[in-house]
Structure 1
Amino acid sequence: MPVSTNSKLSQAQPTPLHSVSVAGVVMREDGRVLTIQRADNGTWEPPGGVLELTEAPEDGVRREVFEETGLKVQVKRLTGVYKNTTRGIVALVFLCAVEGGHERLSDESTAVEWLTRDEIADRMGEVFAIRVLDALEESAVQVRSHNGRKVTPTAV
């Protein structure tokens, strides 16, 4: 007996929904990296946020860094693509350089600091530290998944 189209649709899995975020790893000439302490949860992260629907990724990075830190940046290159498999968030991370502006706090940040590599590893959770450290390498774009807390090992 043939299966009707309606029963095929009712058995179909829902279309997964994803959110796209962007982050800017802004590095100074001395190698320190711009970070914010988030107002909502107190974690240290590179500045970033949700990409708006009509916004190009590079424009989103510039907007987010400026909103959260007061600094204008030049986007250099994409350094990584990271997926939170628990929340369905895909993050695009870009290496950036300061073009102007003045550091300031925002309603999204309680602190703005320039951290060394060692400080990044000490202060940031694994999934954000790996994004920053990947961006500081001169390697190809990294693609990684995580569950919100731990990076998922990649298959070789």
Structure 2
Amino acid sequence: MLLHMSNSARNSQSTPLHSVSVAGVVVREDGRVLAIRRADNGTWEPPGGVLEVTEAVEDGVRREVFEETGIKVGVERLTGVYKNVNRGIVALVFLCRPESGVEKLSAESTAVDWLTPDEVSDRMAEVYAVRILDALRDSATPMVRAHDGRHLLG
């Protein structure tokens, strides 16, 4: 018996789907970095979330940071690309500067704080702390890393 598969069925099985998220590493003049404690799991992370399909990348960063923290930011540069290999999420992380606003909680955050780099390392899981520490490097070249949701790979 000969079976035929349509091109669309063949393509849908072989084409991996990924979600794209964006995050802002917002750094004040004193070197402290904006962070949130997520409402859904209690972890500390840089503010960010899923990029909307019709949204420009930088607009998504500004929107996510403002929604989660109340801070309006200017987006400066891409500092890293991080892939969660287990969940198929690619995160684009950008260095940002605060422009205006006052810290506030949202439905997605139970705390908003400005952390030192040492506090970032103490409070955040490795896969989130590295995003901030990479952004604080004085390098024009973005880092590209993979992780399993908990630990960096390779």
**Which TM class, normalised by the smaller chain length?**
over 0.9
**Cross-structure match for 1:149:** 150
User: 2: distance between equivalents of 1:8 and 1:42?
Assistant: 44
How many Å apart are 1:74 and its aligned residue? 0.2
1:149 maps to amino acid: R
Over 3 Å counting, the alpha-carbon distance change for 1:5 and 1:43 in structure 2 is same
State the 1:7 CA deviation: 8.3
Pairwise mapping of residues 119-130 of structure 1 onto structure 2 (< 5 A)?
A: 119-130=119-130
Please report the TM-score for the alignment, with normalisation by the length of structure 1: 0.91
Deviation at 1:101, TM superposition (A): 1.0
Q: Deviations over 1:102-146 (max 9, x none)?
A: 110001000000000110000000000000000000121000000
Structure 1 partner of 2:51: 51
CA RMSD of aligned residues (A): 1.8
What is the count of residue pairs matched by the alignment? 151
Distance, in Å, in 1 between the alignment partners of 2:152 and 2:24 is 19
- Matches of 2:138 and 2:130 in 1, distance apart? 14
Structure 2 distance, partners of 1:56, 1:86, is 26
Partner residue of 2:5? 6
Percent of aligned pairs sharing the same letter: 70
Distance 1:94 1:105 in 2: 21
Q: Specify the SS of the correspondent of 2:52.
A: coil
Show the 5 A alignment for 1:103-114: 103-114=103-114
* Cα separation, 2, equivalents of 1:4 and 1:68: 51
| Number of the residue aligned with 2:38 | 38
Structure 2, unmatched stretches of 5+, are: none
Unaligned runs of 5+ in 1: none
Counterparts of 1:47 and 1:91, CA distance in 2? 12
Deviation per CA, 1:58-78: give whole Å up to 9, x if none: 000000000000010000100
State how far apart, in whole Å, the 2-side matches of 1:73 and 1:56 are: 15
Following TM superposition, the consecutive aligned residue runs of length 4 or more in structure 1 with deviations greater than 3 angstroms are: 7-14
